[in-house]
Each structure stands twice: as C-alpha cells, then as structure tokens.
Structure 1
C-alpha cells in the first residue's frame, strides 16, 4: 500500500509539474492532484528535494517502459525508413497525451538538475531497448564511432522534441531523415 501511494504521489507530482511548472510543484499541490488529505505528500516525501527525486525516478521508469514498448512494436531496424518510422513513433508519443506531460516535466527537471547532482544522476540517459536498437542499426551500416553517433542522434532527436513542445506541431519527417542521414555519414 505504501509503495502504491508513493507511486500515486509521484505520478501526481509529474502532472503538477507539467501543468504548473517548477514553481507550482508543492506538497499541497500534489496532495490536491492526488485527491489526498493535506499533509499526505509531506508525510511520504518530507522535503522538496525528496519529492523531486521521487518524481524524477518515476519519470525515468515511465520513459524506460515507453521505450521498451515502442521498440517491441517495431520490426528490427534494418533500413533508414524503419529507423525513421521508429523515431517518428517515439516523437509522436513524446508530443501527445501523457507523453507530452512527461516531456514537459522531464525538461523542467533537466533544468533543475543543473544545480542538483542527485537529480542529474537519475536523469542520465540509461541503457534501453531504443538506444540499443539505434546502436545496432548504426553498427550494421558501417558507422565506426557507434557510441558517439548514437548519443548525438538521440540528443538531436530530443532537441527536436523540445523544439516542438515549445513551438507546437509535429517533428517533420524530413528532419528525422536528415538526422539519420547525418548519423550515417
């Protein structure tokens, strides 16, 4: 029960952060969002730092699950078109619905992590099925510096998602094709 409540509070904190920004993230706001009595969030997460740590940890869990699901839905990435399709699916998920809310929260936490090494450590890109699929794709296409190119490609993809969160719209397919083409050079 306690772990379920912690998860509910962390999920509610993600929603508060997505809706109200970092300044709106308070214990009371999370209590309201979770429909819990006042003081519940502070009973589980005594400090703002503890609340942020729980929020970021949950965000990473949800992102990892999404990447695993996305990778399982796709065929093995053999062609540029298949990789671009996978990237397009991921960007759509990150820009709509719950994925959009998590993206907004993730970027707010990324800014906070500049001053908080604990948050930064949690947010460091993890090994996951999506990263491995890109790595294998690039290696199969003869890219020599696979680790660096994978990191660069995924960082650029992240930048496109951030741009579209701010400016609206979808990530253009041509932009995704351009990223893959550049990674293969």
Structure 2
C-alpha cells in the first residue's frame, strides 16, 4: 500500500536526492533512502512501488525545490526591461541552483540513468521541456529584450556554467562566473 503523508514523501525524496548525489544511481536503494531519511527500514518501499518510480519522483522533486521566489518572478514585471535585468535574473538562477548542489548532481545522475530507462527519459524530457517553455513564455510575456532563441541560448550557456561550477569548482571563480553570465546575455540578447 502506498502511503500518502506528503511531508514524509517529500522527506524521502529529499533523502533520495542526497543519496543520488553522493552514491550515484547504483547506490539509490530503498534501504539507503530510509537510512538517509532516518526512518524505519521499509518506509520508502511503502511510498514508492519500485526504484523506477522513486527516480521519476526525484526528478519532479528537484524542480519543486528550485521554484523561483515570488520576488524573483516579480522582477519580470516590475524591473526595467533591459539586459541588466536579464543578467541579474541569470545570476540569480546560477546562485539558486549552485546553492542546491546535491539536487543538481542528483539530476545529472538521473539524466545519465535516463539513457537506459525509457520511462525515466520520458518523465525528464517532459519536465525539462515544461521548464524551458515556462522560461520562454515568461520572458516573452515580460517584454524583456530578446526572443525565444535568446532564452534557449542562455538556457544552454547557463546550464553548462552551472555544471562547471558544481563539478569542477576551481575552473571559474564566482567573479568569473558573473562575468561569463553578463557576456552570455550581451551576446544572446540584442540591445534595444
């Protein structure tokens, strides 16, 4: 029987994120999740039918935890409509994601695992596509400079910068990362 306590379910998913980031997909077991969450053995198996379901739910939980704040979303409608605002928002994204290091590393593990699991690939594809569409829609509706292609170019550049910052942090300092974000915005978004 699958349990429905949402707080316990989220705690188990958060524990699974930590296990994935630390141990990789092979280390993601119900026993490891139970131990990480400090719950009795067998708890995770009461919430998730199998390991595949657990992985799919972890993919969604990562995005739930990275939702932008209302303040950040407000900048789309209240801030100046210029490249400086876009640069500020891109730096906020880099900071928000790099602050959740284990979540991003777990997501990378899931993406690698998705190359071998079609159902997981479908779930992650749908989730990432929804995230990209959300970003493009918000950018266009906010009337910031640039178009859908600008958003896609920034998405790709920022994601790789985040990957470098989290996996090889000695490559770019925070100052260099901020400079690279500014340069990416200047090159991807035409001046008005």
Q: Does 1:125 pair with 2:126? A: no
- Rounded Cα–Cα distance in structure 1 between residues aligned with 2:184 and 2:58: 31
- Rounded Cα–Cα distance in structure 1 between residues aligned with 2:118 and 2:93: 28
Query: By how many angstroms is 1:67 displaced?
Result: 6.0
- Equivalent position of 1:164 in the other structure: 165
- Rounded Cα–Cα distance in structure 2 between residues aligned with 1:150 and 1:125: 13
> What are the superposed Cα offsets for residues 112-148 of structure 1, whole Å, 9 maximum, x if unpaired?
22233332333323247654443456x653x4xx223
- Equivalent position of 2:48 in the other structure: 45
- Rounded Cα–Cα distance in structure 2 between residues aligned with 1:140 and 1:176: 17
Could you tell me the TM-score, scaled by structure 1's length?
0.82
- Rounded Cα–Cα distance in structure 2 between residues aligned with 1:43 and 1:179: 46
- Equivalent position of 1:3 in the other structure: 6
- Equivalent position of 1:182 in the other structure: 187
- Equivalent position of 1:55 in the other structure: 58
- Rounded Cα–Cα distance in structure 2 between residues aligned with 1:76 and 1:60: 25
- Rounded Cα–Cα distance in structure 2 between residues aligned with 1:131 and 1:67: 18
CA RMSD of aligned residues (A): 2.5
Where 1:181 maps in the other structure, the secondary structure is helix
- Rounded Cα–Cα distance in structure 1 between residues aligned with 2:18 and 2:107: 11
Residues 88 and 176 in structure 1, CA contact (< 8 A), matched pair in contact too:
yes
Q: Bigger CA drift: 168-177 or 29-38?
A: 168-177
> Gapped runs of 5+ residues in structure 2?
none
Where 1:172 maps in the other structure, the secondary structure is helix
- Rounded Cα–Cα distance in structure 2 between residues aligned with 1:5 and 1:112: 25
How many equivalent pairs are there?
Answer: 178
